[in-house]
Amino acid sequence: MTRDERTFRQQLEPHRRELHAHCYRMLGSVQDAEDAVQETLLRAWRGLDQFEGRSSLRSWLYTIATNVCLRVIERRPARVLPIDYGPPSDPHAPLGPPLVESTWIDPYPDANFEDGPAARYEQREAIELAFIAALQHLSPRQRAVLILRDVLGFSGAEVAASLETTPASVYSLLQRAHATLDERLPDRSQQATLSALGDEQLTEVVNRFVDAWAKADVDALAELLTDNAALAMPPTATWFRGRDVIATFLRATALDGGRTWRQLPTTANGQLAMGAYLLEPDGSYRPYGLTVLTLSHNRIDEIVTFRDPSAPERFGLPPHL
């Protein structure tokens, strides 16, 4: 490796985290994002001779990453959350079978981006579950334009150059993307909600949630929910809408008194999250999955439990208790 090559590799590495967040926004999958970043850096490495310095290194890398993601999207369907997959279910009916993993959006570990440039407030908003889910309803090029322009702050001319199109086309794509997102995003982001509540109220919500699960207290949990709360559990497509409906389902299943749970707080997608652990016959608590909470004021408006035993460890939690 020449000195120039070694220097170039050192210049690439600091961009890895923010590129990973960018690819996750485009693809809705942590693993797909990791693969896309690896391919991006490999293409940049191989294309070193083509980098003439007419744009910044960061802009050049995002051009490569965006086009890598667009090719990935061509090969597979968009990822969604169960709430966007079908209508809510009857709490008295059995759960549907798990669907293939590639159907669903993944939760994103905050540690992947909290120390990099993407830690800015606006970009943390753009990692929230609702935003990631809404992005998947855009066409691939609308998605790319909105992320590059609104989230990352590239100029219309830079975006047009990245996508080999015109500034007028970028503006048109952006207008249509905004129209779709306006229909799907809540009025208030989770960053704004969490900031308004403050540490004391957030701690109270977390403690009440943890305590309700530990005691299998459905009524206490229901008191934490908004009237129109939703509960989803990927990889099954089954989900529920409404405080009473959710309480009915939990009382007959997870909180029927026959199971013992522990919930360990963490964060995911810039939101409150919990690692869920279930007591086994040998006396140990084994990981069950990761729950991401969406708040409305000081109530829980959405619970998404990703039923994946490997998830808690990816979010800095122990593999067992």
User: What domains are defined for the chain?
Assistant: 3-79+113-184 (1.20.140.160), 190-314 (3.10.450.50)
Q: What is the mean pLDDT of residues 151-180?
A: 95
Please give the pLDDT value at position 285.
Answer: 96
212 has a pLDDT exceeding 90: yes
Question: For 58-72, how does the pLDDT look when each residue is reduced to its tens digit (9 = 90+)?
Answer: 889 999 999 999 999
3 has a pLDDT exceeding 70: no
Distance CA 291, CA 263 (A): 9
Question: For 96-131, how does the pLDDT look when each residue is reduced to its tens digit (9 = 90+)?
Answer: 888 876 789 999 998 876 544 444 545 678 999 999
User: Which of the four pLDDT bands, split at 50, 70 and 90, describes residue 55?
Assistant: low
Please give the pLDDT value at position 311.
Answer: 95
Give the pTM: 0.92
Q: What is the mean pLDDT of residues 196-220?
A: 97
Inter-helix orientation angle 30-46/16-27, to 10°: 130
Question: For 75-104, how does the pLDDT look when each residue is reduced to its tens digit (9 = 90+)?
Answer: 887 899 999 988 999 998 888 888 876 789
Average pLDDT for the chain: 90
Please give the pLDDT value at position 139.
Answer: 95
The enclosing H or E element of 178 equals helix 167-184
- How far, CA to CA in Å, does 155 sit from each of 21, 146, 274? 19, 11, 38
